[in-house]
Structures are given as structure tokens and as C-alpha cells.
């Protein structure tokens, strides 16, 4: 049986995981702790996003991890600095969140699912970064896959196509490319050509 960590702020994916799979949720990260869905027997631990900010238990802290997580640390500190204008507090926030993530990742985790993109906080960026270091697949997905082009796999750093047309559709959705007819119609030289 698969054991996962699910980051689902508004509990949009959780109902489908509970109804469509037999997965065990080792850790659920959300902002909706009072929801009746959070009381399911298959959910072993539930964390509120603020638990990563307010954690005072730094046990299990390993300095060796910091060398591997420096990129995630910079992203998390920068994200924290959007809300707190004190670099030292941002650094301490990373350490607090790191300790929670370390405890989560010391459990039996086979996969991590994050609803939406990584926003650069401990509860998403640090979880996916630590999973990548440990060789565990972590995916960023949307709650509605209709009209979506792919699911991002943090381990391989690739977008996995989920549409029938395959990779070409994924490539076309990543960049805004002008249609050939438009380019032909506005084929100009110099600065105007570059603007077009």
C-alpha cells in the first residue's frame, strides 16, 4: 500500500485520494484542520501550514542536510521575506520548518503530492526538495486536470503529459508562440521585427 504526503491547502484533492485510492496519508498539510475529512483513519498526521512557521522543536536537526538544501533554503527565505522584512527571522523560519519536514520525511513516505505549484515555503518547497534528495517522487498537480497539460515531477524535473496529444501539446503550452500566419503577416526587419 502506497504511503504519501499530501499538501492540499483547501482540501480539493483529499476527497479523491480517499475515495479513489487505498493510499495511506502519512502527513496531510492543509489550512482546513476542522474539516471532517481530516478525521479519516487513513490520515496518520495532520499539519496546519502555520505548524511549519511556529515549530519550536528543532530536534533531529542535521547540519549535513543544509548543504544539500541550500537552494531550497534560499527560495524559502526569499518567500518569507515577502511577509517579514527581517532576514534572520526568515532564516530561523527555514530552520523551524526544516525540523517539521525532517520528522515527516523520517516516516515511511513513497510519494509526495502538492496541489498547485510550489510557493516557496517549507510546507511545499522544502518537502519536494527533501524528497528529491532522498529519490522520492514528488508531484505538483492541479485539483482539476481538465484543460491542464501535465503534472510536474520534481524528481526528474519534467512535465509529464496527461493529454492525448503527447509532448508537443506540453511544449506548446509552456511558451507563448505566435502562429506562423501571424509571423508571416508581420515580417519586419529591425526593431519592429523583434517587437512583432
What is the C-alpha separation between 114 and 120, in angstroms, rounded? Answer: 12
Is residue 42 within 8 A of residue 25, CB to CB? The reply is yes
pLDDT confidence of residue 152:
83
Please state the pTM of the whole predicted model: 0.76
Average pLDDT, whole number, for the chain?
A: 80
Task: Classify strands 3-7 and 111-115 as parallel, antiparallel or unpaired.
Answer: parallel
131 grid coordinates: 524528497
pLDDT at 189 > cutoff 80: no
What pLDDT, on a 0 to 100 scale, did the predictor assign at position 40?
A: 93
Measured in degrees and rounded to the nearest 5, phi and psi for residue 7 equal: -105, 105
pLDDT value at residue 175? 45
- Bridge partners, residue 118, by sequence: none
pLDDT at 131 over 70: yes
Grid look-up 525540523 returns: 99
Per-residue pLDDT reduced to its tens digit, 30-39: 987 777 888 8
User: In the predicted model, is pLDDT for residue 171 greater than 50?
Assistant: no
Judge whether 37 and 16 are in contact, CB under 8 Å: no
CA 96, CA 76: separation in Å to the nearest integer? 12
Strand ranges (DSSP E) for 8-163?
A: 24-30, 46-48, 111-115, 137-141, 150-153, 158-161
Task: Give 69's pLDDT tier (boundaries 50, 70, 90).
Answer: confident
Between the CA of residue 16 and those of 84, 149, 166, what are the distances in Å? 36, 20, 25
Amino acid at each position: 500500500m502506497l504511503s504519501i504526503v499530501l499538501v492540499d491547502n483547501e482540501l480539493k484533492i483529499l476527497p479523491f485520494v480517499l475515495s479513489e485510492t487505498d493510499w495511506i496519508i502519512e502527513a496531510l498539510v492543509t489550512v482546513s484542520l476542522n474539516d471532517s475529512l481530516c478525521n479519516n483513519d487513513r490520515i496518520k498526521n495532520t499539519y496546519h501550514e502555520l505548524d511549519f512557521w511556529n515549530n519550536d522543536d528543532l530536534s533531529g536537526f542535521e547540519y549535513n542536510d543544509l548543504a544539500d538544501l541550500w537552494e531550497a533554503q534560499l527560495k524559502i527565505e526569499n518567500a518569507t521575506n515577502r511577509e517579514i522584512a527581517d532576514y534572520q527571522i526568515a532564516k530561523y523560519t527555514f530552520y523551524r520548518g526544516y525540523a517539521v519536514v525532517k520528522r515527516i520525511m523520517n516516516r515511511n513516505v513513497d510519494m509526495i503530492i502538492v496541489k498547485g505549484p510550489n510557493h516557496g515555503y517549507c510546507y511545499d518547497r522544502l518537502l519536494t526538495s527533501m524528497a528529491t534528495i532522498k529519490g522520492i517522487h514528488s508531484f505538483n498537480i492541479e485539483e482539476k486536470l481538465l484543460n491542464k497539460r501535465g503534472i510536474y515531477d520534481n524528481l526528474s524535473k519534467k512535465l509529464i503529459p496527461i493529454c492525448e496529444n503527447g509532448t508537443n501539446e506540453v511544449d506548446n503550452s509552456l511558451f507563448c508562440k505566435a502562429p506562423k500566419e501571424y509571423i508571416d503577416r508581420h515580417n519586419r526587419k529591425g526593431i519592429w521585427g523583434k517587437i512583432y
